[in-house]
Chain A
Amino acid sequence: MEAPTNDQLVVNAQALTKSFGTVKVVQNVNFELTRGQILGLIGPSGSGKTTTVRMLVGIYEPTVGHIRVLGSRPAKFTPRIRERIGYMPQQFALYPELTVWENMNFAASIYGMTVRREKRLDELLDFVDLGPHKKKLARNLSGGMKRRLSLAATLVHNPELLFLDEPTAGIDPILRRRFWDHFKMLQQQGCTLFVTTQYVGEAAYCDNVGVMANGQLLMVESPDGLRRRAFGGEVVDMVTKERLLFKDLQQLSKLSFVQEPVTRLNDEGTGLRLVVNRASTAMPALLEWCKSEYITMVSIEEYLPPFDDVFVELVKNAATDS
């Protein structure tokens, strides 16, 4: 893989550690984010995601380590750099007693936008489907609408780098999907996004995914890479007509492209799940093996395990390693 140039490198975090008193909340975190990418940070509640974001935007000073965001240390952000950054905090940080429009106006003003901003605000409210609700008081909005308003307020000054801290927390799956559609659109418009989430399934939308647990970044991988890391390769499910005997399983295990263990999928003994180096080459080889052993293959396909399972495996592996 080619190393990103300085121009492409938007965020560079090296050996980041943050302690509150004697408690280390984030430990030795390293990652890079290149221009135009979506980097997802996935981890359970309390794993250190929000602390990491806060260090990236300059709210917290790291106890140890270095950060460069848009080529600058967050503690030394100039107003120019701040204008290029959008930050959506985890909680709704706008004002319940103001209308949707007034909240947008406030956000636009603190970024010093000119008074001719109506068009931009209208566009953004339409973008998050809040156009018809602009006169509503924020306190009367639903949870999902508040999140959308927060997102719109974050985008008001047209930032090139977005830090979104659990933007989909507490909202229904349909709306979560729409949020990711919005993020993808922003990516297409040239934005770089750093998104944290508790929903492991959202990893699929990211270009790269960082997995956090107990304050440590276990890995940063592409979504497919994560699966491979979780199970030691790709997973193939096969169903045969005849029951496979113990000796058949032993033979399968001995095949060079098959990883142990081979697990049964049903009580009849006709279904098997195998972890292989690469599914695309392993499946024809398995068909050949069945033919040579006079076993009738009913079906064979690559299995994509849900990211929840991937995440559980990764955390389990990390615990075993440590």
Chain B
Amino acid sequence: MQPLIAKRFRFFIRISAFLLKEMLEIMRQPLLLLTLVAGPFLILLFFGIGYRNDARALRTIFVLDDNDSAVAKKLDEYAKTLGPQLIFAGKTTDLTEAQDRLRQGEVDLVAQLPNNIYNTILNNQQAVFHLFHNEVDPFQVDYINVFARVYINEVNRRVLRLLTSEGQIDLSQAQDTIDAAKESADSLSKLLQRCAETLAEAGRGAECDSNTAMEYTQDLSQKTDELSQIIEQDLRFEEALQREFGDGESTPDAAEDEITLRQIRDRLQSLERFADDIDQYEAQLETLTKLDTDLDGLEARMQDFLNIDPNILVSPFRSEVSSIATVQYKVNDFFAPAVIVLLLQHLILTFAALSMVRERQLGSMELFFVAPLSALETLIGKYISYLIFGAVLAAVLLSLIVFGMGVPMLGSWLSVSLVVLAVLFASLGIGFIISLISQTDTQAVQYAMIVLLTSVFFSGFLLGLNTLWQPVRIISWTLPATYGILLLRDIMLRGTALDLSIFMPLVAFGAGLFILAWWLLRRSMQKI
């Protein structure tokens, strides 16, 4: 029993050898420590200060056929008012000259206006704006494509608004028709009243001025036809609106308009029979009164339509986006957890990658071979020392970004600590494997840099994982940073609990790497 306890005790003493040694070696480099703590903090700080989330404004020169054409005149007005991202850099009739200016970087975009726009549209074709750029960055090319789409939509919207306004002007002319119809109805009404009075005084058989009455009736019918044609535009618009967005229910106003027009037509038909049956004047008078009421109703509906802003008619929808989160995030908030994870992975991985190589270069591996020291003791000792160092570094960095820069910490610190330890554990595995397969420290640093570069592109640090093709995401899941960034963003920014479906694979991944590193170290410590 005693030797077993002594053996166990020696196991821990040997582990502690590396624990102290590694920590002391790091602590003896204060400049390195300062860089490790201040570096990431300053990177984030300057990034936060310097980053501008504004859409880039493009200096745009326009190329057109004729500087004096109607389009050229309109261009001045449009180009300067389309939006802040379009900086009007002039117009020219020479495409080559404009493209030269683009090559020299004097402008960002050349927009060639279509020729003969009116005839092109009349020929049932779209008029095309040709945009030329000189970008090599695919993101900027995408931006220009979006820019082109947004601004062409704006041009189209303005044209549509203009046409809609013209339609409203037409509709406003219906007011005169209504007034004229009401006047005709009023005259007819007065004529009928006179007829009624004549009949009352002279008794049945007295003559009424039926010709004049017929003229009034025909005039009223003509006005109603005109009105009907104009109102139908309004009705069609309302019908379409109701069909698309009315949830299947008829809009009361639209239905009312339709009924009124039909009633007006019916009533006019009954009035046209007036000439044949002048004696029914009382009924006709009543019809006329109702007709007058119908015209009032139509007038009111028409006014409603005229009151609609043309902008709303051509763009009936707009969007408003709100987050369900309780905190308003800044760009720094989003990147801070990822920076911490990536930095910890890189630092710890590099320390571990250099660790065994340096022991070999220094010659201390020879001492380890001869000493009663196992690969497991060596590896555990080094793992623990770097884990402690990484954890302290993480604590300082997280405190700085949370309490110094105000990055939200909505989740629990315990969850964050577990994630950090798991990321460090897995990163150490990669680092030690690099260390055990590298011959020189230069080689080890190069491998570490490759892992860093891979992490920048594949871990979700810059681009979301959803932007990667599914099979390529296998690379992402071989990087501890991928797990760490996902987990830390969720915990810190969303306040969610530790997602075990991501956390446990990270721990298992780290354990696998530890076993592989152990096997490699054992093999290299058995003999050279």
Contact = CB atoms under 8 A, between A and B. Distances in A.
A87 B373 CA distance: 14
A110 B25 contact: no
Given A93-B364, A112-B10, A61 B25 contact: no
Contacts of B14: 109-110, 112
B367 A60 contact: no
B370 interface: yes
Interface string B503-528: 00000000000000000000000111
Interface string B1-35: 00000000111011011001100110011000000
B369 interface: yes
Contacts of B17: 105-106, 109-110
B368 interface: yes
A125 interface: no
B363 interface: yes
Interface in A72-99: 75, 79-80, 82-83, 85, 87, 89-95, 97-98
A106 B21 contact: yes
Contacts of B11: 112
A109 B371 CA distance: 10
A59 interface: yes
A93 B24 contact: no
A98 B370 contact: no
A113 B13 contact: yes
Nearest to A90: B363
B372 A82 contact: yes
A111 B14 CA distance: 7
A57 interface: yes
Contacts of B369: 57-59
Contacts of A237: none
B71 to A, nearest CB: 75
A115 B13 contact: yes
Interface in B348-381: 362-364, 366-373
B13 A95 contact: no
A93 B527 contact: no
| Range of interface residues on B (Cβ < 8 Å) | 20 to 34
Contact of A98 (B10, B21, B372, B528): B21
Interface string B121-139: 0000000000000000000
A191 to B, nearest CB: 16
Contacts of B9: 112, 114
A95 B20 contact: no
A264 to B, nearest CB: 51
Interface residues of A, number: 34
A102 interface: yes
B363 A93 contact: yes
Contacts of A98: 21, 24-25, 28
B370 A85 contact: yes
Interface in B191-248: none
A160 to B, nearest CB: 14
A222 to B, nearest CB: 29
A122 to B, nearest CB: 19
Nearest to A83: B372
Nearest to B17: A109
B367 A110 contact: yes
A87 B366 contact: yes
A80 B368 CA distance: 15
Contacts of A112: 9-11, 13-14, 372
A75 B370 CA distance: 10
B135 to A, nearest CB: 50
Nearest to B362: A93
Contacts of A107: 367
Given A87-B366, A89-B366, A114-B13, A95 B372 contact: no
A254 B13 CA distance: 72
B362 A95 contact: yes
B20 A109 contact: yes
B367 to A, nearest CB: 5
Given A60-B528, A93-B364, A112-B14, A79 B372 contact: yes
B16 A109 contact: yes
A113 B372 CA distance: 11
Contacts of A59: 366, 369-370, 527-528
Contacts of A102: 20-21, 24
Contacts of B366: 54, 59, 87, 89, 93
Contacts of A80: 372
A60, A90, A97, A112 — most chain B CB neighbours (10 Å): A112
Contacts of B527: 58-61, 75
A87 B24 contact: no
Interface string A27-59: 000000000000000000000000000100111
A321 B528 CA distance: 34
A80 B372 CA distance: 8
A93 B28 CA distance: 18
Contacts of B364: 93-95
A311 B515 CA distance: 51
Contacts of A111: 371-372
B13 A87 contact: no
Contacts of A89: 363, 366-367
Nearest to B28: A97
B439 to A, nearest CB: 16
B365 to A, nearest CB: 8
B10 A93 contact: no
A83 B156 CA distance: 88
A95 B355 CA distance: 12
Contacts of B24: 97-98, 102
Contacts of B367: 87, 89, 93, 107, 110
Interface string A177-216: 0000000000000000000000000000000000000000
A59 B370 CA distance: 7
A91 B364 CA distance: 9
Contacts of A109: 13-14, 16-17, 20
A94 B367 CA distance: 9
A114 B10 CA distance: 8
B368 A110 contact: yes
A195 to B, nearest CB: 16
Interface of B: 9-11, 13-14, 16-17, 20-21, 24-25, 28-29, 362-364, 366-373, 526-528
20 contacts: A58-B369, A58-B370, A58-B527, A59-B370, A59-B528, A61-B527, A75-B526, A79-B372, A82-B371, A83-B372, A85-B370, A89-B366, A93-B363, A93-B367, A95-B21, A97-B24, A98-B25, A107-B367, A110-B368, A112-B13
Interface of A: 54, 57-61, 75, 79-80, 82-83, 85, 87, 89-95, 97-98, 102, 105-107, 109-115, 137
The 9 A-B residue pairs whose C-beta atoms are closest, nearest first, are: A112-B10, A109-B17, A79-B372, A93-B363, A82-B372, A87-B370, A97-B28, A91-B363, A93-B364
Given A85-B370, A109-B20, A110-B17, 5 more contacts: A98-B25, A107-B367, A110-B368, A113-B13, A114-B9
